[in-house]
Structure 1
């Protein structure tokens, strides 16, 4: 019997069962390539057994939370499986998060144990025991098998990036993870070698271990300090078959001169998403990488959602995020909840048994986002065509109102990127008196010489979109800031935009 009085039986589709199959058939296959360390599936299971025994010795039981404050690594993977073998709940905080964000995650989950390789940088941990991966692995005891679990038991808590406030923890049960593993489409084939440039604390790892076990795929980790050249070197050296990354990473990689001579013959596809994907980037990826490009649309709450197919035409991949995957259902609704027809823009609503079950210990935000029947209100605006392809207009909270007109950055950014002197660009709104908000464009220049004046950029835009959509201010940067998951840090850009508006209004000393 469990602590909540329910009798538990081994889940035939659970993590333990998946590992059993791999250990019978391919224990020596590589699972994680972490620098010089090559972790096989057999070693992953053995090490996780040692770590699980140590966690059990610290009092971790089914239903307890184990928090990993670790960078992407073989150690992270080992500790993840160790906690799952105890039927504990795994959560993680990217070490790149700020101390307040990490403290919020620890406070919300009250973990029994925190695993970190930098204990001195942790905020107060309360009653939690704090151990390093090395300490968990130094014992001689090894747990055999795994504690029984049921499909409805909480398995993982994945945190939103906090771009619109404090991070929220989306929790998933074991059944959610199993469903996602069987609906990955062209992203997963037996024996794949997948480049993994996003943090393990992200849903891309936290909800995907079942998929990795089913397909016996290896994850090739990029160095902790990501560079485009390092990413290219790994693609070549490790014979990667599936390249994965967010748009900002692919933008930098396809700009490398060294790409022309690189042997990428093993790549069968590359995938991107987790942000706006300009059509120009999709075309550049297809041309320079020499393989199909698929676009994925997902969120922390619904990690498996929409995607394009390998044989979709360039125009479709460049302008939509494809069709619903697996058992995902989607609707576009108006502000009053009315379902909208093909081609009409509204809020994107999603429903899937593979989605989150709610926000951890936050009934209010859960009720605001997730209806009792499972429909989840996303933060995105978009439209569905007659074939079910989804076009994302932008996030509802990214839009700004200039002089009474709604402006979506996704309408402005492609126009900016078409300018020959702009390499990368993002637009945000900033408060301004009388007019409400101004559009501020942050751009990375292309080519040599001084970048164009704001007046030239505005004239370029006005010839292509409505005049009120042209950015009022253009700020030139060497690079666009990114957050802990390598997405454009729009929160930081909004702060800078407010400063730019304030500077514009400030009288000149000679006035």
Structure 2
């Protein structure tokens, strides 16, 4: 069953009344036709072409023995082929998972073992892991040949509660875990989009398609008629500017340093990116100065989103929130989502008190694939996802993150949460980016080590950073050691790689110093 209507001011072009993802895909092809669904540096694909190729590929999958509930694993770069295969699997009730190309052979092998795919679609020239011999591998060349042959396989009865996608974590705290989602999850993500979605957006995305930021947003794209634009790689500030301008981008996503570099380009003004209505800050909060600069220089509000693999939409700021809210918080729960902060016994805590963040709502995963024990551990008795993040709620209901439970370090008996210190250091005029980790030290227990990316022509000293931090936070939160770096290492999910930072400290430990 489908429902299609003319564009309304407050809702998507397509209503969410679909029986399954295949139904939604066919409705999008009819409604949007030749409107582009994907644009990459080397290819483009309309909604009609997307669905036609997906049906032909679904017929291939069916001939290879893929049926309802079977897994198709994609070892492909982000782009049109990945999108086609994801849609193809959905047409026949199969489940799609992807392998981030930045993962190593051990992590990739773990995903193949966990997902137990019937078929792997791969860019075989770049695969670094041996696929089990019993698994059929479809190469890109074979896939492209299939596109030329019309197909429309028989479709089984598919419920909205049947699995659609498995999204694997990056493996920074062990081997990757596979969070699985059904069509109701995907519809909930579309409903929770908020300022992120408007009819016929053109969205610049650098998120790997194996990431929850793509896999969970399929229905969002279909309901709103969104064009996804993948910018050239490797990233350059000129390439970002050209993409925003030439591709008429309406929603642009980038990390804070990328936005900062964009705003440093000469001759920018309020007319530089006339189509851009909102900028999304990924992986780290934007400083108030950056938020103000974006608004005054190019007339674009920056918003922040809080999400995770297990819950791809949780909180977000609004475009009209003041800069301090954009910097200090990750906003309020999105539509259909609930956030609570609890103590070690699971009891709610007062606003302003740091505790464990727990989440409930339609976007939360159904569980970890083929792992009921791990699934049980992920939820509390009330059905809330135990995120492992620490945070607090403001009186206005905004979530303030304090870091991961395992990121906290204890200096002289005082608990220190790195995010708070990082945000403070990042506001120093000589600092472009910062990260803080704890390091074992005699007597005092742990000290803070700050990794700082300086601004061009700046060279902040430890004394300057300590003075700056102590003037704004408790003095014991000031870092004890400073390391200047060219960039902060990132995980495959484009988050601060704290394990790498800790290894760097272990390899070159700070000299003993008197505790303060």
TM (norm. structure 2) is: 0.90
The CA deviation at 1:262 is 7.2
Summarize the alignment of residues 105-504 of structure 1 with structure 2, pairs less than 5 Å apart: 105-119=111-125, 121-126=127-132, 127-139=134-146, 140-144=149-153, 146-257=155-266, 259=268, 263-371=272-380, 373-448=382-457, 451-501=459-509, 504=511
Question: CA 1:201–1:407 in 2, change beyond 3 Å: closer, same or farther?
Answer: same
The CA deviation at 1:18 is 1.7
Query: Retained in 2: the 8 A contact 1:246–1:487?
Result: no
Question: CA 1:97–1:403 in 2, change beyond 3 Å: closer, same or farther?
Answer: same
Between the aligned partners of 1:270 and 1:246, the Cα distance in structure 2 is 10
Between the aligned partners of 1:205 and 1:88, the Cα distance in structure 2 is 18
Question: CA 1:371–1:463 in 2, change beyond 3 Å: closer, same or farther?
Answer: closer
Between the aligned partners of 1:151 and 1:416, the Cα distance in structure 2 is 46
Question: CA 1:52–1:119 in 2, change beyond 3 Å: closer, same or farther?
Answer: farther
Between the aligned partners of 2:464 and 2:196, the Cα distance in structure 1 is 42
Structure 2 unmatched ranges of 5 or more: 1-16
Between the two proteins, the alignment pairs up a number of residues equal to 494
Choose 115-124 or 103-112, whichever is displaced more. Answer: 115-124
The CA deviation at 1:85 is 1.1
Question: CA 1:188–1:146 in 2, change beyond 3 Å: closer, same or farther?
Answer: farther
Which secondary structure does the structure 1 equivalent of 2:401 belong to? Answer: strand
State the Cα deviation string for residues 30-82 of structure 1 (Å, max 9, x = none): 00001131100010011111211111121111111111111111111111111
State the Cα deviation string for residues 102-132 of structure 1 (Å, max 9, x = none): 1111111111111111356332221211122
Between the aligned partners of 1:420 and 1:311, the Cα distance in structure 2 is 25
Query: Retained in 1: the 8 A contact 2:103–2:170?
Result: no
Question: CA 1:97–1:131 in 2, change beyond 3 Å: closer, same or farther?
Answer: same
Question: CA 1:473–1:187 in 2, change beyond 3 Å: closer, same or farther?
Answer: same
- Residue in structure 1 matched with residue 77 of structure 2 by the alignment: 71
- Residue in structure 2 matched with residue 8 of structure 1 by the alignment: none
Query: Retained in 2: the 8 A contact 1:47–1:137?
Result: no
- Residue in structure 2 matched with residue 35 of structure 1 by the alignment: 41
The CA deviation at 1:365 is 2.5
Query: Retained in 2: the 8 A contact 1:248–1:488?
Result: no
Question: CA 1:300–1:252 in 2, change beyond 3 Å: closer, same or farther?
Answer: farther
Query: Retained in 2: the 8 A contact 1:198–1:245?
Result: no
Between the aligned partners of 1:363 and 1:324, the Cα distance in structure 2 is 28
Query: Retained in 2: the 8 A contact 1:55–1:136?
Result: no
Computed over aligned residues only, the root mean square deviation of the Cα atoms, in angstroms, reads 2.2
Structure 1 unmatched ranges of 5 or more: 1-10, 507-511
